[in-house]
Amino acid sequence: MAKSKKKQEILPTFQLTALQSPPKSFPHIDALFSNFALPDFRKLTLRKRFKKINETLLQLITDSPKDSFLLAEVVDFIDRVNQQNLLNVSTFHISSFEFWLNNFSALSPEENYFVRAKIVGKFIPREEYQAYFPVGMNTRYFGSHFICAHFSPDIDTMIASFWGWVDAFAAQVGTGQHLWSLPGGPPSSPVTKVFQQLFGLSVFNGIAHSAKTLVLTAQDLVTQKNFFKKTASTNLNSIDGNQDSVTVQVDDEGCFLGDWHHTITLSSDVDTIRKKIEERGYLTVVIPEGEDKLFPVGVVRATDLRKPQLGTVSFRDFCNEDEVHMAPYLRPISVIDHHKTSFKTSTPPFALIGDVQSCNVLIAEQTMRLNDRYSQGGMTIKEIEAKIESISQQTASLKNMRLLKRLLQYRMNSQTRGSYFVHPERELSEYLCFMYAILDDTDLLTKMSTRDIECVVELINRILSLSTQDATKEVDIDHIPRDKDFVQNASKHILQTPPMYALYRTIYESKEQEIDAFFKLRNKEDYLNLFLDTKEQNGCCVIGQTKMFSSNYKTFKTNRLKLLQHWLKQSQEIYEERTVIDFYLQMMSTIASAEDVYEDKVGLYSHQDEIWIWVPASQKAYNHLESFLSAFQSSPGLQNNQMTAYLPLGHEALKQIFIQNFSAIAIVEEKAAAEDLPIVILRFNAGSLNSRKAMITPFLPQVIL
């Protein structure tokens, strides 16, 4: 059967309703918000409007079915508040709701925990979150907790940090808010659009924080413990008089009557608070309440400010403090990564470091193991039992035994999980996210290990099972020999199965179109997007990678000189600001397209890929270049590769460095297109050297302290 005919036949066979359903909203939400538009609501003070909005959201969550997954509905609610400007200039955010939930909802700890569970679609014992965080023995960390993506976020770090935030929010890792740090915002990618289809167009505005520096404010540190308000008519005997208690004087409306010089706002940062508190034992935290009035919401205590640790951080898809700007009073407690690692912590952290090709392989493995203790795969007990009976009567093949094992686990869970649950839409959403992140980070499974393959097979089968509500649907690789070609053959087979092809086809066709548009260099954003995946490494290197498809090469070639000029200017500006950074490398890499992998044409390209290198004219920079070239000769990407180094005319120092340290390749002196740019360009077989992690990073020079 011809491949083109086969594609036409398989596309209708696998549809994901999770990506096709309309945006989710709470029931009767339009009527609720029409009440917020009435004058009676609008004339309320900011504090009273904030209170009413949060009470309404909590009631909607409470009234929803017990086994719920309400994240998309909550995102929609937050967006409506902001679209209607119900809080004036203030922006409503999931952290706003969490602040109110912790401090003003009057919920018990158990009720608070269950509200979070309904939002995230997973209600499990808190100790189960030890799969991601060091929260054993009911440990909760003082202050707020950040879950961080690295700078210039790619899909892998965005997805990993998002689900890290979801789990941290559910587990209440910290005593304050749980903040998803996505510095600079989400990457421009079709996968980002899929993410918004799952959780709402405004998910990043409503949940993420795009600031590039991690700092705490009074909102993260304020407490109401032993905090009392006293009016003129208050009976002083009714107020707890222990030495830790704080009593402030208020009027009959609850507004502050003390010295306003001794107050701070929720947005006051830690440095400001420390300067202002001086010898005082506390500062009162207030919010505006009408004209010339302040409403006290709690205090920040001097004893808390003196703690060396005021908040905690989790890293996802990176594990060194060079890739995050965080205040010195924050401490990392959790890391999941697949790169080289360097971080310090004062307490035992949760650390999961693995030799896999995507951080989300590690997270998916943990998540699947956890879900397997509570999930029923989206099926009723009756449906599970019917499938068990059907398969039990069939041949005892590996596939059937594997399916039977899964069904029996679901049946056991139905009897042992009690009131706990994993919502099937939550399960499907996280598996889809993991899969798209893995596809993106492995360039359509072209950079894989056996462990990665096994994770991908398990994910696609769970996606297939949950989306069809049939646990007997499966992609298997039992027929593929476990020899030296297993990974390559298994990847090819998986990518050519109907369910997987249906998943990646549209995404990768959109990526091809998007990259081609970027290469046309219509505006500043196009340059930014092309050079977005850039990392600082080893204290002296800036390494970037621009990935393209073979169909994009023509547009790239047309605008290559402009790209070279922009990249050189950008590199030189960094060096002027920080001369310690003196080695700059940019990979221009061809990756497989959906058509390439489906038609089995990966690697059959007529063009060459490029690596650009620039170093300033200093002996230290030349030493770093020599170190890289000498080590780079052993890179696995150079095996059976035809590489040529194109050097700028008249740069004798560069020529000698290449002759002495990289003599195995051909050296050509030429002008860089129409201008003599001081850039070295390495050209080689397209698609052969496209892993920065495995083929570049191990050979980079480093600053030795």
pLDDT in tens, 593-605: 998 888 888 888 9
Q: 302: part of which helix (H) or strand (E)?
A: helix 302-305
pLDDT tens readout for residues 118-149? 999 999 999 999 999 999 999 999 999 999 99
pLDDT tens readout for residues 49-64? 999 999 999 999 999 9
DSSP secondary structure of 12-41: GG---GGGTSPPP--TTHHHHHHHHTSHHH
Q: Which DSSP letter does residue 141 get?
A: B
Does residue 534 share a domain with residue 501?
A: no
pLDDT tens readout for residues 212-231? 999 999 999 999 888 888 88
Does residue 644 share a domain with residue 578?
A: yes
Does residue 384 share a domain with residue 258?
A: no
From 474, 505, 536, give the residue that closes a domain. Answer: 505
pLDDT tens readout for residues 330-383? 999 999 999 887 777 878 899 999 999 999 999 999 999 999 999 999 999 999
Distance CA 693, CA 696 (A): 6
Residue 144 forms part of a structural domain: no
What pLDDT is stored for residue 6 in this prediction?
45
What pLDDT is stored for residue 243 in this prediction?
60
In this predicted structure, the answer to whether residue 181 has a pLDDT above a threshold of 70 is yes
Region of residue 91 (phi > 0: left; psi between -120 and 50: alpha; otherwise: beta): beta
Q: Which of 692, 700, 702 is nearest to 632 (CA)?
A: 700
What pLDDT is stored for residue 1 in this prediction?
36
What pLDDT is stored for residue 22 in this prediction?
76
290: its two tokens: 């009408």
What pLDDT is stored for residue 693 in this prediction?
87
Residue 495 forms part of a structural domain: yes
In this predicted structure, the answer to whether residue 20 has a pLDDT above a threshold of 70 is no
Identify residue 504 by its one-letter amino acid code: Y
Supply the pTM of this predicted model.
0.88
- Supply the range of the domain harboring residue 543: 520-699
Number of domains in the chain: 3
pLDDT band for 329, please (50, 70, 90 cuts). very high
Region of residue 443 (phi > 0: left; psi between -120 and 50: alpha; otherwise: beta): left
Q: Which of 144, 138, 141, 78 is nearest to 110 (CA)?
A: 138
Distance CA 702, CA 34 (A): 60
Distance CA 490, CA 450 (A): 9
pLDDT tens readout for residues 544-582? 999 999 999 999 999 999 999 999 999 999 999 999 999
pLDDT tens readout for residues 79-90? 999 999 999 877
Q: Which of 468, 383, 368 is nearest to 422 (CA)?
A: 368
Distance CA 47, CA 51 (A): 6
Distance CA 620, CA 427 (A): 52
Residue 117 forms part of a structural domain: no
Query: Helix (H, G, I), strand (E, B), or coil: what is residue 104?
Result: coil
Q: Which residue has the higher pLDDT, 105 or 675?
A: 105
Does residue 537 share a domain with residue 643?
A: yes
What pLDDT is stored for residue 178 in this prediction?
98
pLDDT tens readout for residues 454-502? 999 999 999 999 988 887 778 999 999 999 999 999 999 999 998 899 8
Residue 190 forms part of a structural domain: no
What pLDDT is stored for residue 17 in this prediction?
58
Does residue 424 share a domain with residue 282?
A: no
Cβ contact 153:187 at 8 Å? yes
Of 395-404, 647-656, 660-669, minimum mean pLDDT range: 660-669
548: its two tokens: 């393209």
Distance CA 7, CA 598 (A): 9
Residue 666 forms part of a structural domain: yes
Does residue 613 share a domain with residue 494?
A: no
Does residue 420 share a domain with residue 546?
A: no
Q: Which DSSP letter does residue 115 get?
A: H
205: its two tokens: 């505005």
From 438, 472, 505, give the residue that closes a domain. Answer: 505
Does residue 526 share a domain with residue 493?
A: no
Distance CA 224, CA 526 (A): 49
610: its two tokens: 């490029």
Residue 215 forms part of a structural domain: no
Q: Which of 505, 427, 434, 504 is nearest to 471 (CA)?
A: 427
What pLDDT is stored for residue 468 in this prediction?
85
Pairing of strands 644-648, 680-685: antiparallel
What pLDDT is stored for residue 2 in this prediction?
43
pLDDT band for 233, please (50, 70, 90 cuts). low
Does residue 423 share a domain with residue 301?
A: no
Which residues are registered as beta bridge partners of 217?
Answer: 269
Distance CA 181, CA 204 (A): 10
pLDDT band for 246, please (50, 70, 90 cuts). confident
pLDDT band for 254, please (50, 70, 90 cuts). confident
Region of residue 291 (phi > 0: left; psi between -120 and 50: alpha; otherwise: beta): beta
In this predicted structure, the answer to whether residue 5 has a pLDDT above a threshold of 60 is no
Residue 246 forms part of a structural domain: yes
The mean of the pLDDT values for the chain is 91
pLDDT band for 703, please (50, 70, 90 cuts). confident
pLDDT tens readout for residues 292-309? 889 999 999 999 999 999
The share of the chain scoring above pLDDT 70, in percent, equals: 95
Please tell me the chain's helix, strand, coil percentages from 3-state DSSP, rounded to the nearest 5.
45, 15, 35
Task: Please enumerate in sequence order all residues whose Cβ is within 8 A of that of 277, keeping only pairs 6 or more positions apart, or say none.
Answer: 283, 300, 302, 305
DSSP secondary structure of 276-287: HHTT-SEEEEEE
What pLDDT is stored for residue 15 in this prediction?
57
pLDDT band for 606, please (50, 70, 90 cuts). very high
In this predicted structure, the answer to whether residue 647 has a pLDDT above a threshold of 80 is yes
Does residue 567 share a domain with residue 495?
A: no
Angle at CA 436, nearest 5°, toward 456 and 690?
A: 85
Q: Which DSSP letter does residue 316 get?
A: E
122: its two tokens: 């997973």
Distance CA 438, CA 233 (A): 64
Does residue 484 share a domain with residue 536?
A: no
What pLDDT is stored for residue 671 in this prediction?
64
Distance CA 341, CA 263 (A): 42
Cβ contact 435:463 at 8 Å? yes
In this predicted structure, the answer to whether residue 3 has a pLDDT above a threshold of 80 is no
Does residue 554 share a domain with residue 500?
A: no
Q: Which of 432, 437, 551, 424 is nearest to 502 (CA)?
A: 432
Residue 58 forms part of a structural domain: no
